[in-house]
Structure 1
């Protein structure tokens, strides 16, 4: 699903969110079609403050969110090939060891990055350290039970994966419990949702691609039903030792009490979770 984003330098932009659809109304605007997580990011980003774009890539999100009232620092382990705006502040840095003081940022966002980091809990702790009290952390992570995971693995195995730049080992996939462990004692979860539920089309494309390369259809079934060797389960580091199981259960209930169990079931079928968390 795609949305439209209006970038306007002469008048105020107004947004409306109706049944998950982002509507923009403005005059003298530049209209750009954007993806679902980007529209959610726009809606959740504060109007002012110091932002941190973690794993910024080519600074696409920095370009979208940048304004006179927002100062954004973009961080990645590789320098962008081309920075389109001179006012972009870019720093080479690992997400695991950020070169910033405690309580520095009003808003931090990190889209589809955390799953590539082996010690994801340490990364979340580092983000927590640099975020101001009351600040918001927006991030997306891949779901553990989504059909997209199987389809992606099949595409990579058969050489039909169309995104070679993202063909990097995922150390983690996430379900509800994994998110609880990842954020426990650090963040209060404010919003949980998912994006990309239409996996049927991608599955059909995979089958067509397999016919193009003259591979047997039986390979598909063998790959689906044969357990994948070396499949790693997320390893979550927990710094809080000595906690009783009752205490952990109470904390989980406190953090996720306003999310209906059916919501987790539905969002678990999506490509990624979209999560907005608050530093208390």
Structure 2
């Protein structure tokens, strides 16, 4: 168990570093919300990098970083912040825990200032590994009984669906980054893509109406970032 916890910690540290580097590409970002803040590790990183950071969590007492106060916030309900307040909102290891992702995304949009930046990550259930896992076990990556009971992963969000949710909530300039790439398998991508393209053409002839409805999502899910990454980072912008 200790080894698993350390692996998770190292993975999250890598994601924190990546998200910080993304934030630094937006020089006008000053006020940042970290939600859910958890133990406060990413909050501390933001603080040390001179951001005016706010922290929120459903269990604020678990925050161990004392230089920033963590306030109570339930992401299933209206967030305790004013409209158009933050330059950036960062939600890491959070959206898969909420009951109604569409509502939660609308709240993030509300509290962001115009031109504000929204960053979140998700477990990637459309990775090739997760697709094979589902085929063999009936459970997606990080959405099996263990992750439901021990980590409360209750909202399964395929990347294509999350992208649509962001668009429906009026976010713009949506970009997707890989959080962790299966680099030792990446050489297989051209082969796998050719196989899926061949299979799609055959099935398209037999079920034209079905593929008419799913053509865009198939193309989206066969991107290199989506197919070979265990996690994805979405970056979106609130318009003027």
Give your verdict on TM over 0.5. Answer: yes
In 1, Cα distance between equivalents of 2:231 and 2:83: 29
Other-structure match for 2:229: 270
Q: Structure 1 34/101 Cα, relative in aligned 2: closer, same or farther at 3 Å?
A: closer
In 2, Cα distance between equivalents of 1:193 and 1:68: 22
1:173 aligns with 2:157: yes
User: Which residue, 71, 79, 104 being the options, matches 1:98?
Assistant: 79
Measure how far apart 1:40 and its partner are: 1.6
Q: Structure 1 174/156 Cα, relative in aligned 2: closer, same or farther at 3 Å?
A: closer
Residue-by-residue CA offset, 1:157-196 (whole Å, 9 max, x unaligned): 999x6x8995323322213244223432421134211222
The structure with more strand, counted as a fraction of residues: 1
Measure how far apart 1:156 and its partner are: 8.7
1:140 aligns with 2:99: no
Other-structure match for 1:66: 47
Q: Structure 1 197/90 Cα, relative in aligned 2: closer, same or farther at 3 Å?
A: same
Query: How many residue pairs were aligned?
Result: 190
Runs of at least 5 residues in structure 1 that lack an aligned partner in the other structure? 1-31, 202-248, 254-259
User: Which residue, 89, 98, 103 being the options, matches 2:69?
Assistant: 89
Q: Structure 1 169/43 Cα, relative in aligned 2: closer, same or farther at 3 Å?
A: closer
Matched ranges for 1:117-156 at <5 A: 117-146=98-127, 147-148=129-130, 150=133, 153=139
Other-structure match for 1:243: none
In 2, Cα distance between equivalents of 1:110 and 1:184: 18
Measure how far apart 1:119 and its partner are: 0.7
Measure how far apart 1:81 and its partner are: 3.0
In 2, Cα distance between equivalents of 1:37 and 1:261: 22
Runs of at least 5 residues in structure 2 that lack an aligned partner in the other structure? 1-9, 186-212
8 Å CA contact retained: 1:72, 1:89: no
8 Å CA contact retained: 1:53, 1:108: yes
User: Which residue, 3, 18, 21 being the options, matches 1:40?
Assistant: 18
TM-score (norm. length: structure 2): 0.65
Larger Rg: 1
Measure how far apart 1:136 and its partner are: 0.3
Matched ranges for 1:1-280 at <5 A: 35-45=13-23, 46=26, 48-67=29-48, 69-85=50-66, 87-96=67-76, 97-146=78-127, 147-148=129-130, 150=133, 153=139, 167-198=151-182, 264-280=223-239
The ranges of structure 1 where at least 4 consecutive aligned residues each deviate by more than 4 angstroms after the TM superposition are 151-159, 163-166, 260-263
Alignment RMSD, CA only? 3.7
TM-score (norm. length: structure 1): 0.57
- Give the SS at the match of 2:60: coil
The structure with more helix, counted as a fraction of residues: 2
